[in-house]
A and B are shown apart, each in its own frame.
Chain A
Amino acid sequence: MIQFLIDTIIRALDLALIAVALSGVYSLIKFPNVALVQYAVVGAFVGMLLQQAGLPLVLALPVSAIFVGLVAVIFNVLLFERLLTEGSAIALIGSLALSMILSAVFLLAFGPAAYRFDLAVAPAMRVLGARITVHQLSTLAITVAALGGFAAILFFTRLGREMRATATNKVLASASGIDTRRVINATVFLSGVLAALGGMTLAMRGSVSIDLGTQMLLPVFAAAILGGLGNALGAIAGALVISAAETFVTNTNFGVLTGTDFLFLPASYAQTASFALLVGFLLLRPSGLFTSEVSRV
């Protein structure tokens, strides 16, 4: 049971940062940016390159995150601002295209092999019979700090107030003197930072290959939609629900059903759990777990 809880939390860590980034940007510019999952991969690769270049990990992580934040802003200004004038569906398709292009660039630059950070690996510690590794703890700390920082910006700073105002009513926010374009780009920057941290913490716990973005797309979207797209912190709850479902599918021994000792569903079926939950929620409660002040497109 403890192991189940820990596995769920660790899986939620995989999803939470990127899902929060997705939801945060959605609240302002009203389209889900598919390319965010690829920003996470960019973050992981850049972090690794920086580490290989001799930068210690504590520096490589923030430098790469800031770099990806700037990349996100550049793409937003060059691409999405223009596409959004045509409508959010166009922007969504544009982000899908960007995602594919980035994926092809990764293939050219890194090939299909998996890469890892250069980290010392120690056997797991036992906590109440469940296993926790050092890197699970360190990435938990990074994730909590990053999400806490994002929440603090959102709720306790002038920028956060402007972000919430713009999310609720962009025209009114603009009329009352808020530079909405600056607010949007600040949020896009933060989303890039969060996504990059998400990719790097994932890579710290395992490895990263060019497929990572595509593999994360479905569960991240499911988590963001469950949390109520546009409700940035709801995405954290969404990530926990999705990961609990996935962990249930892969950790449960279904042997009793067939009369055999052991029967586990293949781990790749975990995605099915997130997909089923997503479909169920879209049918029964399309606005997500929580009511959000943001109206969905």
Chain B
Amino acid sequence: MTRTTPALATLLAATTLLSAPAALAEITLGAVIPLSGSNATPGEDQRRGIEIAVKEINAAGGVLGEPLKVIVEDSAGKPQTAIDAARKLVTVDEVPLVIGSYSSGITLPMGEYLVQEGIPHLNPASTSGLVRNIGDSSFSMVGLDNVSTEFAAKEVIANGWKNVAVLAVNNAFGQGVAQEFQKHLEAMGGGVKTSVLFTGGQPSYRRELQQLEATDPDAYVFTAYGTDAALIMQESFELGLQEDAPWYSILITMMNKDTAPEFKQGLSGMDVGYLGAGGEGYAATYEADYGETFLSAYGGYAHDAVLFAAKAIEKAGSTDKQALLTAIRALGDEGFTGATGEIKLDANGQRMSQPYLKFKVEGNDLVQMD
């Protein structure tokens, strides 16, 4: 004990000395997003959104007069990797705020870790209702599934599909969507014949698809991530399920880019809106910088999370956690306009309203409907 204490003290002093000048030079935020794995495509979109936001802020003079930097870490689509990445951001980089992640199954455990550490957390993408319960210092830049499934249920009823079969990924996000969707659909006079939850990353989803088909539904309503959805669409095509009844995707931009065009003919769906009023500038910068249109709907929300965080730090006058939390709540109350429209937070720190879009697939691309 007596021998280790001085050594420890020296180490502590050394690390404090090393990290102190770095913290003064710039304002550093952290982000944990899926740069690899099934969700690498929307993850890249998020990274681009963050990159554009940082450029915008620094071009306008930075935050509190200092340049802004966002350290982006890979979640690899795995909860443990995401928590490790968040821990690294908090303990090594000592960031005052962490943005992340993409899927709810990962945002939840990561957010809980951040709440324990007292670090403010901004959720830029996850829509499970469980996100509401992460904790006091966790805030969502995106509307949760109670808002999104109501929109989807209205669409399904409007298409004349009364009895549907639901397929959702078996995690916090998928369970939430399946439950909330069923609740809204039944309230509107429709019904769910069966709800199948599948485990992601399987070599085949034939069994799940055959279970759905046995109920002879008017339509198949599903929500699945990138490459899982690609395989589901391929196998449903192979099994002839797409001939029997139409397919409808909740949060369709999660899966569209990964699915080959021949397996998604006639597919329609909904997703969170890419942009709100005033988001045209972001779209123009994005296309100029990356030479293509948005990879998913989620880049804009990651972009807004960075702007929101920067504005809150500006308001707090420092990166002190308590001051920052107070500033985030105040900013959420008065409202903040980003690329995805006005962001106002409710008492639980969740976004109150947001734009949604209807899509249908044409060839390989999504076409927006009225």
Q: Are B76 and A121 in contact (CB under 8 A)?
A: no
Q: Are B203 and A111 in contact (CB under 8 A)?
A: no
Q: Which residues of B contact A124 (CB under 8 A)?
A: 238-240
Q: Which residues of A contact B240 (CB under 8 A)?
A: 123-124, 131
Which residues 195-217 of B sit at the A interface, judged by CB distance below 8 A? 196-199, 201-208, 210-211, 214-215
Contacts A206-B204, A208-B203, A209-B201: A253 and B239 contacting too (C-beta < 8 A)? no
Q: Could you say which of B208, B227, B243, B263 contacts A267, with CB atoms under 8 Å apart?
A: B208
Q: Are B237 and A123 in contact (CB under 8 A)?
A: yes
Q: Could you say which of B78, B206, B235 contacts A112, with CB atoms under 8 Å apart?
A: B78
A134 → chain B, closest Cβ, in Å? 9
Q: How far is the CA of A77 from the CA of B202 in the complex (A)?
A: 33
Does B128 sit at the interface, judged by CB under 8 A?
A: no
Q: Which residues of B contact A75 (CB under 8 A)?
A: none
Q: Are A266 and B196 in contact (CB under 8 A)?
A: yes
A174 → chain B, closest Cβ, in Å? 41
For this complex, into which size category does the number of interface residues on chain A fall? 20 to 34
B321 → chain A, closest Cβ, in Å? 33
Contacts A207-B231, A264-B211: A114 and B38 contacting too (C-beta < 8 A)? yes
Does B193 sit at the interface, judged by CB under 8 A?
A: yes
Q: Are A112 and B38 in contact (CB under 8 A)?
A: yes
Q: Hey, what's the 0/1 contact readout for B231-252 against A, CB within 8 Å counting as 1?
A: 1001101111001000000000
Q: Are B201 and A203 in contact (CB under 8 A)?
A: no
Q: Hey, what's the 0/1 contact readout for A205-231 against B, CB within 8 Å counting as 1?
A: 111110110010000000000000000
Q: Hey, what's the 0/1 contact readout for A160-184 against B, CB within 8 Å counting as 1?
A: 0000000000000000000000000
Q: How far is the CA of A205 from the CA of B204 in the complex (A)?
A: 8
Q: Which residues of A contact B328 (CB under 8 A)?
A: none
Q: Which residues of A contact B40 (CB under 8 A)?
A: 111, 113
Q: Are A268 and B199 in contact (CB under 8 A)?
A: yes
Does B228 sit at the interface, judged by CB under 8 A?
A: yes
* Closest residue of A by beta carbon distance from B235: A206
A265 → chain B, closest Cβ, in Å? 9
Q: Hey, what's the 0/1 contact readout for A236-253 against B, CB within 8 Å counting as 1?
A: 000000000000001101
Q: How far is the CA of A206 from the CA of B316 in the complex (A)?
A: 53
Q: Could you say which of A207, A212, A266 contacts B197, with CB atoms under 8 Å apart?
A: A266
Q: Could you say which of B37, B77, B199, B203 contacts A206, with CB atoms under 8 Å apart?
A: B203
Q: Are B231 and A116 in contact (CB under 8 A)?
A: yes
Q: Are A207 and B203 in contact (CB under 8 A)?
A: yes
A233 → chain B, closest Cβ, in Å? 25
Does B318 sit at the interface, judged by CB under 8 A?
A: no
Q: Which residues of B contact A261 (CB under 8 A)?
A: 193, 215
Q: Which residues of B contact A7 (CB under 8 A)?
A: 206-207, 210
* Closest residue of A by beta carbon distance from B76: A112
Contacts A207-B204, A264-B194, A267-B211: A123 and B38 contacting too (C-beta < 8 A)? no
Q: Which residues of B contact A215 (CB under 8 A)?
A: 202-203
Does B320 sit at the interface, judged by CB under 8 A?
A: no
Does A262 sit at the interface, judged by CB under 8 A?
A: yes
Q: Which residues of B contact A267 (CB under 8 A)?
A: 196, 198-199, 202, 205, 207-208, 211
Q: How far is the CA of A250 from the CA of B211 in the complex (A)?
A: 8
Q: How far is the CA of A250 from the CA of B40 in the complex (A)?
A: 31
Q: Which residues of A contact B348 (CB under 8 A)?
A: none
Q: How far is the CA of A131 from the CA of B128 in the complex (A)?
A: 36
* Closest residue of B by beta carbon distance from A268: B199
Q: Which residues of A contact B78 (CB under 8 A)?
A: 112
Q: Could you say which of A113, A203, A262 contacts B193, with CB atoms under 8 Å apart?
A: A262
Q: Are B214 and A262 in contact (CB under 8 A)?
A: yes
Q: How far is the CA of A142 from the CA of B202 in the complex (A)?
A: 22
Q: Could you say which of B37, B207, B214 contacts A113, with CB atoms under 8 Å apart?
A: B37
Q: Which residues of A contact B37 (CB under 8 A)?
A: 111-113
Does B364 sit at the interface, judged by CB under 8 A?
A: no
Q: How far is the CA of A203 from the CA of B203 in the complex (A)?
A: 7
B263 → chain A, closest Cβ, in Å? 7
Q: Are A212 and B203 in contact (CB under 8 A)?
A: yes
Does A138 sit at the interface, judged by CB under 8 A?
A: no
Q: Hey, what's the 0/1 contact readout for B45-86 against A, CB within 8 Å counting as 1?
A: 000000000000000000000000000000011100000000
* Closest residue of B by beta carbon distance from A112: B37
Does A195 sit at the interface, judged by CB under 8 A?
A: no
Q: Are A114 and B207 in contact (CB under 8 A)?
A: no
Does B10 sit at the interface, judged by CB under 8 A?
A: no
Q: How far is the CA of A180 from the CA of B298 in the complex (A)?
A: 61
Q: Are A253 and B214 in contact (CB under 8 A)?
A: yes
Which residues 155-210 of B sit at the A interface, judged by CB distance below 8 A? 170, 193-194, 196-199, 201-208, 210
* Closest residue of B by beta carbon distance from A122: B238
Q: Hey, what's the 0/1 contact readout for B315-357 against A, CB within 8 Å counting as 1?
A: 0000000000000000000000000000000000000000000
Q: Are A114 and B201 in contact (CB under 8 A)?
A: yes
Does A18 sit at the interface, judged by CB under 8 A?
A: no
Q: How far is the CA of A124 from the CA of B240 in the complex (A)?
A: 6
Q: Which residues of A contact B231 (CB under 8 A)?
A: 114, 116, 206-207
Does A270 sit at the interface, judged by CB under 8 A?
A: yes
Q: How far is the CA of A111 from the CA of B203 in the complex (A)?
A: 15
Does A202 sit at the interface, judged by CB under 8 A?
A: yes
Q: Could you say which of B214, B228, B234 contacts A121, with CB atoms under 8 Å apart?
A: B234
* Closest residue of B by beta carbon distance from A208: B203
Q: Which residues of A contact B206 (CB under 8 A)?
A: 7, 206
Contacts A111-B36, A202-B203, A205-B204: A123 and B197 contacting too (C-beta < 8 A)? no
Q: Are A131 and B211 in contact (CB under 8 A)?
A: no
3 closest A-B pairs by beta carbon, nearest first, are A206-B204, A267-B207, A264-B211
Given A203-B203, A267-B196, 7 additional A-B pairs, CB 8 A = A113-B40, A121-B234, A123-B240, A207-B204, A250-B207, A264-B211, A268-B198
A-B contact pairs, 15 of them (CB 8 A): A112-B36, A112-B38, A121-B237, A123-B239, A124-B240, A206-B203, A206-B205, A206-B206, A206-B231, A207-B227, A250-B210, A262-B193, A262-B214, A264-B194, A267-B211
Binding site for B on A (CB under 8 A): 3, 7, 111-114, 116, 121-124, 131, 133, 202-203, 205-209, 211-212, 215, 250-251, 253, 261-264, 266-268, 270
